[in-house]
Structure 1
Amino acid sequence: MELRQLRYFLKAKELLNFTEAAKMLNISQSTLSQQIKQLEDELHVPLFNRVGKRINLTEAGEIFGEYALQSINRANEGLLVLKDLKNLNAGKITIGVIYSMRILFARTLIEFAKQYPNIKIQVVFGTTKDLLEKLNLYHFDFILTFHENLKEPHLKCQTLLKANMVLVTAKKSLLANRRSLSLTEVAKLPLALPFSGYSTIQFFVESFGEENLEPNICMEINDIPTLFEIVKTGNWHTILSDTSVNDPEVVGIPIDGKNMKRSIMILSIKEVYEKKAVKKFYELLKSMHAKNLE
């Protein structure tokens, strides 16, 4: 059953004359008759009574007409929705974001929402592990996360920005005025770190291991604002990317080492169709963070 056949049927139903209906549709009468006959054969029921050159609807034709009209209307509505999607007047995007990107991401989110107010946006914050799992289940259009060593061939990877890893300490701390710290110095400090599900702590455990250092990890907490509250006491320190540090009572001190800079990536699934709204979000992200891609 084709939409074309439904349109032909509805025009014939309206005019109750195959010749006039064919003229209105700019097709031959034989084509119209043939298409309606194919439709009747598929439905296994006649839609018109044919008496000479006159036609009238059967009971089945009357009933089917209502559904045929609904189908045409729904198809037309679908075309309008697709047109709106293309013109960014409708649609929805779902994004997964690591916690350390929340500040920079919020700026882009606000700007995108201003430019495209009709696009609905759903944002989920989580750890790299959780976000990757959900991305692979098609829960997100894309995610923003640390993921330097991409091994999944089905993922599309775009570098968004480079983030420096820093020791976060209280402004009242004796360390606050240091220009940098060595990894050896950091290992000796009492540390409150993100929970083990976070990519940041995994990164530093590996970094400490390469230097044969045993860090003094006193706490693991799965909430960045709570980590800041702990750090602000001056009794503990944490390690985060500099993109996370926005509290006026703490400072981020660079950690020496060639591997102390990490890449925040835009990850999506290669085989999935990319919505126009998603592409626009990519463009905005990259333009707003271009200066951090060094």
Structure 2
Amino acid sequence: MEIRHLHYFMAVCEELHFTKAAEKLGISQPTLSQQIRVLEDEVGMPLFDRIGKKIVLTEAGSVLLSYGTEILDTLQNVKDAIKDLQNMKSGHIRIGIMPSDLDYRITQLVIDFHQKFPKVKLKIMSSIEIVRQVLENEVDIGIGINVLPNDRLVTIPLCREEYVLTVSKEHPMANRVSINIADLKNLPVIMYPEGFLGCKIVEETVKKHGFQLNCVLETSSITSIINLVKANIGATVQPYPLIKEMNDPTLHIIHIQDDAPSRSLSIIYRVDRYVSQATKALIEQIEVYFQG
């Protein structure tokens, strides 16, 4: 089986359309159809069912898709490893990180890494689905939150961060240093929408104490949340290091004394992924940055 045949097959799987796949590959549709027939003759079974203008994978096609993905991933790892040997300080790294941490936490980390490895291109992508991104090879490494055990992932624990109540200096509770978890009951708060991990962590904690958050506004942007808090529309509950990093004198931090919500941060990457020297250096720097 030739690698180019496998690339042709994968392109058809992605598009489920021979003409579109041919355009993507830069070859003619008849040529692509002929090459797929050669591959089908080699495996001895049809790979696609052709239903009018639509095509679907056969059972044999599904098997080849599964193993073909692994083969091409392995081939890419080989290429990356050889390239890494040729020039250990070049290349590119894709990182997945939560939007709030991207906006406020890692600027200095990126600056420090770029100064050490100016030839390495970093592509930093914000996401609330970091585990999925890593597993689907959309990013090389991720900084995940409360990552569950997964035999397809390498997980490197970073730190545990407690959440705090954050209010404006004009808020009625701005004279408080600490509160109990029960003090959050009925307090107007501004949080992420339902389904966002940052909201889920806090909601699950207060639920154990028999109440729900009184969300008066929801937004997916941490910048919007903070601006609304500063306008004294309500309070918010966010990770302490995140608010501390903002260093905003118009905000007041109130610690939660008993059973404060918390999150655990970890570096994650696929167990079958080649880790370049530059990526190893970045991982080490992330560990020092978050654990320091």
Q: TM-score, normalised by structure 2?
A: 0.67
The answer to whether the Cα contact below 8 Å between 1:192 and 1:219 also exists between their aligned partners in 2 is yes
| Residue-by-residue CA offset, 1:156-211 (whole Å, 9 max, x unaligned) | 11111221201111122222231212221112210110122321111111111111
The answer to whether the Cα contact below 8 Å between 1:191 and 1:217 also exists between their aligned partners in 2 is yes
The answer to whether the Cα contact below 8 Å between 2:177 and 2:253 also exists between their aligned partners in 1 is no
Paired with 1:132 and 1:197, the residues of 2 have a C-alpha distance of 15
Which amino acid is 1:190 matched to? P
**Judging changes above 3 Å, is the alpha-carbon distance between structure 1 residues 253 and 107 closer, same or farther for their aligned structure 2 residues?**
same
Q: What residue in structure 1 maps to residue 190 of structure 2?
A: 192
Q: State the Cα distance separating 1:79 from its structure 2 match.
A: 9.9
5 Å-filtered alignment, 1:168-247, equals: 168-245=166-243, 246=246, 247=248
**Judging changes above 3 Å, is the alpha-carbon distance between structure 1 residues 259 and 178 closer, same or farther for their aligned structure 2 residues?**
closer
Q: State the Cα distance separating 1:248 from its structure 2 match.
A: 3.1
Q: What residue in structure 1 maps to residue 276 of structure 2?
A: 275
Paired with 1:177 and 1:110, the residues of 2 have a C-alpha distance of 37
Q: State the Cα distance separating 1:217 from its structure 2 match.
A: 1.2
Paired with 2:280 and 2:81, the residues of 1 have a C-alpha distance of 21
Matched residue count? 210
Paired with 1:204 and 1:79, the residues of 2 have a C-alpha distance of 42
**Judging changes above 3 Å, is the alpha-carbon distance between structure 1 residues 271 and 80 closer, same or farther for their aligned structure 2 residues?**
closer
Q: What residue in structure 2 maps to residue 119 of structure 1?
A: 120
Paired with 1:137 and 1:80, the residues of 2 have a C-alpha distance of 23
The answer to whether the Cα contact below 8 Å between 1:100 and 1:240 also exists between their aligned partners in 2 is no
Q: State the Cα distance separating 1:84 from its structure 2 match.
A: 4.1
Paired with 2:232 and 2:191, the residues of 1 have a C-alpha distance of 15
The answer to whether the Cα contact below 8 Å between 2:81 and 2:276 also exists between their aligned partners in 1 is no
- The farther-off stretch of 91-100 and 166-175 is 166-175
The answer to whether the Cα contact below 8 Å between 2:164 and 2:260 also exists between their aligned partners in 1 is no
Q: What residue in structure 1 maps to residue 149 of structure 2?
A: 151
Paired with 1:195 and 1:244, the residues of 2 have a C-alpha distance of 19
5 Å-filtered alignment, 1:250-265, equals: 250-265=251-266
Which amino acid is 2:195 matched to? G
Q: What residue in structure 2 maps to residue 83 of structure 1?
A: 85
Which amino acid is 2:149 matched to? K
The answer to whether the Cα contact below 8 Å between 1:95 and 1:124 also exists between their aligned partners in 2 is yes
The answer to whether the Cα contact below 8 Å between 2:97 and 2:142 also exists between their aligned partners in 1 is yes
Which runs of 5 or more residues in structure 2 are unaligned?
Answer: 1-79
Paired with 1:215 and 1:261, the residues of 2 have a C-alpha distance of 16
| Residue-by-residue CA offset, 1:45-101 (whole Å, 9 max, x unaligned) | xxxxxxxxxxxxxxxxxxxxxxxxxxxxxxxxx99844344x21x100000111232
**Judging changes above 3 Å, is the alpha-carbon distance between structure 1 residues 79 and 209 closer, same or farther for their aligned structure 2 residues?**
closer
The answer to whether the Cα contact below 8 Å between 2:84 and 2:277 also exists between their aligned partners in 1 is no
Which amino acid is 1:266 matched to? I
Q: Identity over the aligned pairs, expressed in percent?
A: 20
Paired with 2:254 and 2:116, the residues of 1 have a C-alpha distance of 36
**Judging changes above 3 Å, is the alpha-carbon distance between structure 1 residues 272 and 228 closer, same or farther for their aligned structure 2 residues?**
same
The answer to whether the Cα contact below 8 Å between 1:101 and 1:243 also exists between their aligned partners in 2 is no
Paired with 1:79 and 1:213, the residues of 2 have a C-alpha distance of 53
The answer to whether the Cα contact below 8 Å between 1:100 and 1:243 also exists between their aligned partners in 2 is no
Which amino acid is 1:185 matched to? D
**Judging changes above 3 Å, is the alpha-carbon distance between structure 1 residues 170 and 79 closer, same or farther for their aligned structure 2 residues?**
closer
Paired with 1:197 and 1:122, the residues of 2 have a C-alpha distance of 26
